[in-house]
Amino acid sequence: MVLVEQSLNGLQFGLLLFLLAAGLTLVFGIMDFVNLAHGSLYMMGAYFAATFTAWTGSFILGVLLALGATLLLGIVLEFVALRHLYGRDHLDQVLATFGLILFFNDAVRLIWGPAGLALPLPAWLTVPVQIIPGVYYPAYRLSIIIVALAVAALLYVVVMRTRIGMLIRAGASNREMIGALGINIKLLFTLVFGLGAALAGLAGLMQAPILTVQIGMGENILILAFVIIVIGGIGSIRGAFLAAIFVGMIDTLGRAFLPDLLRTVLSSAAASTAAPALSSMLIYLLMAIVLVVRPEGLFPAAKR
Amino acid sequence: MKLQINTSNVVVALVAAGLVVLPLYSQLTGNIFILTLFTRIIIFALAAASLNLIMGYGGMMSFGHAAYLGIGGYAVGILAFEGIGSGFIQWPVALVASALYALVIGALSLRTRGVYFIMITLAFAQMAYYIASGMSRYGGDDGLTIYKRSNFGGLIDLSNRVQFYYLCLGCLFGGIYLIWRIINSRFGLVVQGIRSNEQRMQAIGYHANRYRLVCFVISGTICGLAGALLANNTDFISPAGMYWTRSGELMVMVVFGGMGSLFGPVIGTIFFLLLEELLSQFTEYWALIMGPLLLLIVLFARGGIMGLLGRFNRG
Amino acid sequence: MADPLLRVENLVRRFGGILATDNLSLDVMPGELHAIIGPNGAGKTTLISQLTGQLMPNSGTIVFGGRDVTALPSYRRSRLGLARSFQITSLLPDFTAADNVALAAQAHDGHSFRFWGNARKEKPLRDAAQAALTRVGLGARADVPVSELSHGEQRELELAVALATKPQLLLLDEPMAGLGVTESARMVALLKELRKEVTIVLVEHDMEAVFALADRITVLVYGRVIASGDPDAIRHNDEVKRAYLGDQHVVVAHG
């Protein structure tokens, strides 16, 4: 029973990671742009949701407003600062967006204060739902899974079936070509960046009721998103999806079961010392193994 | 290398001379704060110089250099905690541990290039951070206080501010001299050649990654030394000191000063840390200014300070 | 008859569905200048890249100096005495001409894990570099950064870099590409000198040069060898004529 619950937790965490990684991959794939501040957008999504929910008194309304606000923030960010960095080398992009992280963290501290915020759930989302006989699972976590799956499906349809999606795919494999097609690249880039920002914001605000909303929350998860991109293969949305689920599962199940597992081999004291360090290492070990076996990632995008 | 008299060399000479006489000034004016501030600056300058070796000369953009500061520091801290206070043991352990970590991480990360390399070095450094947080015997998240600085017998007393300052300065100048020898050696030319055109270097018979890896390990080892110094300076070591933002700051110091310029990281570190000091006296929210400033420097002053001086020189 | 210096057997390389190298076999004898010609897209550069190890074949073998090198990476082949020049100039742009060549000489010397001494002050390396530069007519340009050399000079420098590794076999990928008339003539004269010392495989579009220089010519079309023989035989080969006329590109009857 615990296994089912923890697996679902893993799936849920993996899907959140996917929302973040998908935005990163999209932006990197089409604009060749590394955005460290992607994690800041995740954080902003959570802060916006907490604030708007408190203002309006409605969780749903708060969430919708927060989504719109993150989208807008992403577009403004792209317009004011980031578009000047396209075509620069990756080091410049890393440093500039590192500067943005510093800025966002202190801006949040100034506006919301150093203490974290809580985003309380409405009553109807806190009830446990019986998923299979005898196994209950929190309604809110279940709804995260459903929403994230729906967004992933939507993303798939947009990228694979629509005109915009075609441009995105064309842009990812051949940047000059979309220019030659006479497409307004600047607008397309802004749109894609906004979409990525909204995905990050969505991930952040959905995670918010589970963990506290706090400064720096976007950074640790951003690094996990990097791990996912490395494992999945850069520029590949499908790879990002599979790797995200994989990483979410391993991380969650590792933290849940590794201590007990270790206790069967080691003394209890040694196990409880080693377990936390080892379980936080698991996904990095996974990344190391992937690098040794397939340095281009498990599901690389088609060769250019 | 012929020594020429130009703006950048004059600035470098003045800064170096200033660092040498700084304790005198501190003594005369009774300003102890400036001595502790510059001890810290010098240690970070050594770390930045080591990063510059791989970034500026080797073309490897490591976003995980704070890990070595942590490893060097924890080597000192853990040994001190376990009752081994001799610097003759602590410091070699710090260097060897950093070198070994660099060897493993480098061998893995160098299987990829470019952005991947940045992400992977970042991710592994974060792993090191989590491991340090998980070491409950050594304080976990809260870190470890070092009650006695490394003991070098009667040779040098690290608790004496001035002696410790000169030890750090000696390590910095020594490190830069070492890097200067390396970049002009056979090995250094190969590494710079690989940065410039890997395919060409392979075609004339160089196994590029072997040279890259050795360079990566040298850089990590030097940074491990900075870590040992830093732990002695703060008498404390904690995972926070190897958080990824620290790696980012080191990159910023290198770029501020000018990548691939021998003394640039020193200038960049002085600039960055003094600016941080200045801004934080001004406002608690100094990063609100530092962040956008960083963006502006990246956009408009790419060669860093040494680059600007060079331009001034030519123009 | 002597053993070939380079023997290529049944080499195959695919890119997706396209056969870039189609069951290709080739012998290069010691001391000869062996030219490889063919219309655009015949797979000449793909072949060179497989010979030097930048690209791995899907199947087939490459034997160099009696040793199977098919699986060796490029840096190992280079150490065995296989040098190449690139079709698109590939040098170290921020180094001087002398540095470029000295690094090749250093590679040949084989001791590059030296961290202390100033490599630019090592007389043997600098002398070897200067000799190779003088050989290609760049003796006076040794201290000029590559980015300030003319295109013709960069092509000559490519050759000097290859020579400095003291190769047994020199693979030249279109050394005349982009050269003017006088520069081409200089290059031909230079190759005439070099062929006395080293075995050369020459891929080239300039037919006049090819027929003036080559001992043997191999013609590639769509990754396959359609003819191989001395210049006279090739000039009168019907299949070659058809391939080139069909391509409407170069007229073989030139030389």
Buried b (16+ CB within 10 A) or exposed e, A211-232: eebbbebbbebbbbbbbbbbbb
Q: Give C204-218 pLDDT, tens digit per residue.
A: 988 888 999 999 999
CA distance C55 to chain B (A): 12
What's the pLDDT at C255?
A: 35
| Subunit contact B287:A219, Cβ cutoff 8 A | no
Q: Are C75 and B202 in contact (CB under 8 A)?
A: yes
Tell me which residue of B247, B115, B271 sits closest to A93, measured CA to CA: B115
| pLDDT at residue C137 greater than cutoff 70 | yes
Q: Are C158 and C114 in contact (CB under 8 A)?
A: no
C143 to chain B, any CB pair closer than 8 A? The answer is no
Query: What residue type is A232 in one-letter code?
Result: G
Which residues in chain B are contacts of C76 at CB distance < 8 A?
207
What's the pLDDT at A302?
A: 54
Mean pLDDT value across residues B302-309: 79
Neighbours of chain B (3+ CB pairs under 8 A): A, C
Query: Closest-CA residue in chain B for A280?
Result: B130
What's the pLDDT at A212?
A: 87
- For tokens 């001992």, name the residue: C215
Neighbours of A139 (CB within 10 A): 15
A273 to chain B, any CB pair closer than 8 A? The answer is yes
Q: How far is CA C52 from the centre of its chain?
A: 9
Mean pLDDT value across residues B218-234: 98
What's the pLDDT at A179?
A: 65
Q: Is B64 exposed, middle or buried (0-12, 13-18, 19+ CB in 10 A)?
A: buried
Task: Provide DSSP, B97-148.
Answer: HHHHHHHHHHHHHTTS-HHHHHHHHHHHHHHHHHHHHH-GGGTGGG-EE-SS
A289 to chain B, any CB pair closer than 8 A? The answer is no
Query: Which is it for strands C33-37 and C18-28: parallel, antiparallel or unpaired?
Result: unpaired
What is the enclosing helix (H) or strand (E) of C66?
A: none
Please state the φ and ψ torsions of residue C249, each to the nearest 5 degrees: -120, -55
What's the pLDDT at B183?
A: 97
What's the pLDDT at C246?
A: 60
Q: Are A91 and A33 in contact (CB under 8 A)?
A: no
Q: What share of chain A is helix, strand, coil (3-state, %, to 5)?
A: 75, 5, 20
pLDDT-derived band at B315, boundaries 50, 70, 90: very low
What's the pLDDT at A175?
A: 63
What's the pLDDT at C21?
A: 93
What's the pLDDT at A171?
A: 67
**ipTM for the whole complex:** 0.91
CA dist B174 and B177 (Å) reads: 5
Neighbours of B47 (CB within 10 A): 33
A226, A277, A292: residue with CB nearest B130? A277
- For tokens 């000097």, name the residue: C160
| Subunit contact B298:A106, Cβ cutoff 8 A | no
CA dist A53 and A274 (Å) reads: 41
3-class secondary structure per residue, A96-130: HHHHHHHHHHHHHHHHHCCCCECCCCCHHHCCEEE
Q: Give C70-126 pLDDT, tens digit per residue.
A: 999 999 999 999 999 998 889 999 999 999 999 999 999 989 999 999 999 999 999
Altogether, the residues listed in chain C come to a count of 255
B184, B193, B206: residue with CB nearest C118? B184
Which residues in chain C are contacts of B208 at CB distance < 8 A?
75
Task: Provide DSSP, B271-297.
Answer: HHHHHHHHHHHH-S-THHHHHHHHHHH
Q: Are B128 and B101 in contact (CB under 8 A)?
A: yes
Q: What percent of chain C has pLDDT over 90?
A: 75
Q: Give A153-182 pLDDT, tens digit per residue.
A: 998 888 888 887 887 777 666 666 666 666
Best mutation target among B185, B186, B210 (most C Cβ atoms within 10 Å) is: B186
Q: Give B139-176 pLDDT, tens digit per residue.
A: 989 999 999 999 998 899 999 999 999 999 999 999 99
CA dist A51 and A117 (Å) reads: 9
Neighbours of C128 (CB within 10 A): 21
C124 to chain B, any CB pair closer than 8 A? The answer is no
pLDDT-derived band at C245, boundaries 50, 70, 90: low
B187 to chain C, any CB pair closer than 8 A? The answer is yes
Mean pLDDT value across residues A88-115: 93
Which residues in chain B are contacts of A105 at CB distance < 8 A?
287
B120, B245, B299: residue with CB nearest A230? B120
B2 to chain C, any CB pair closer than 8 A? The answer is no
CA distance B202 to chain C (A): 5
B180 to chain C, any CB pair closer than 8 A? The answer is no
Q: What percent of chain B has pLDDT over 90?
A: 81
| Subunit contact C112:B206, Cβ cutoff 8 A | yes
Q: What share of chain B is helix, strand, coil (3-state, %, to 5)?
A: 80, 0, 20
Mean pLDDT value across residues C11-25: 91
What's the pLDDT at A304?
A: 36
Say which residue, B214 or C212, is predicted with more confidence. B214
Q: What share of chain C is helix, strand, coil (3-state, %, to 5)?
A: 40, 25, 35
H helices then E strands: how many in chain C? 9, 10
Residue C122: half-sphere exposure toward Cβ, Cα within 13 Å? 21
Q: Give A77-95 pLDDT, tens digit per residue.
A: 999 989 889 888 889 999 9
Size of interface A-B (CB pairs under 8 A): 128
Which residues in chain B are contacts of C94 at CB distance < 8 A?
196
| Subunit contact C165:B207, Cβ cutoff 8 A | no
C114 to chain B, any CB pair closer than 8 A? The answer is yes
Tell me A13's DSSP state.
Answer: H
What's the pLDDT at A181?
A: 67
Beta-strand (E) ranges in B206-292?
Answer: 236-237
Please state which of the ranges B62-66, B290-294, C15-19 shows the lowest mean pLDDT: C15-19
A96, A220, A234: residue with CB nearest B116? A234
What's the pLDDT at A303?
A: 43
Average pLDDT in chain A: 88
Tell me C96's DSSP state.
Answer: B
What's the pLDDT at B312?
A: 62
Q: What percent of chain A has pLDDT over 90?
A: 48
| Subunit contact B251:A34, Cβ cutoff 8 A | no
What's the pLDDT at A188?
A: 83
What is the enclosing helix (H) or strand (E) of A137?
A: strand A135-138
Helices (H), C59-150: 74-80, 97-109, 123-135
pLDDT-derived band at A28, boundaries 50, 70, 90: confident
Q: Are A247 and A152 in contact (CB under 8 A)?
A: no
What's the pLDDT at C67?
A: 94
Please state which of the ranges A49-63, A119-133, B118-132 shows the lowest mean pLDDT: A119-133
Tokens at B220, concatenated: 């990590």
Beta-strand (E) ranges in chain C?
Answer: 6-15, 18-28, 33-37, 59-64, 67-68, 82-85, 169-173, 199-203, 216-221, 224-229
| Subunit contact B244:A110, Cβ cutoff 8 A | no
H helices then E strands: how many in chain A? 11, 2
CA dist B260 and B51 (Å) reads: 10
Q: Which residues of B touch A (CB under 8 A)?
A: 55, 61, 63, 108-109, 111-112, 114-116, 118-120, 122-124, 126-127, 130-131, 133-137, 244-245, 248, 251-252, 255, 285-288, 290-295, 298-299, 302
Mean pLDDT value across residues B79-105: 97
CA dist C57 and C71 (Å) reads: 9
| Subunit contact B291:A219, Cβ cutoff 8 A | no
Q: Give C139-197 pLDDT, tens digit per residue.
A: 999 999 999 999 999 999 999 999 999 999 999 999 988 888 899 999 999 999 999 99
Q: Is A99 exposed, middle or buried (0-12, 13-18, 19+ CB in 10 A)?
A: buried
| pLDDT at residue C61 greater than cutoff 80 | yes
- For residue B179, the SS3 value is helix
H helices then E strands: how many in chain B? 13, 2
What's the pLDDT at C112?
A: 92
CA dist A241 and A254 (Å) reads: 20
What's the pLDDT at A262?
A: 84
Q: Give B113-138 pLDDT, tens digit per residue.
A: 888 899 899 999 999 999 999 888 89
| pLDDT at residue C252 greater than cutoff 50 | no
CA dist A131 and C157 (Å) reads: 73
Say which residue, C61 or A296, is predicted with more confidence. C61
Query: Which is it for strands C6-15 and C59-64: parallel, antiparallel or unpaired?
Result: antiparallel
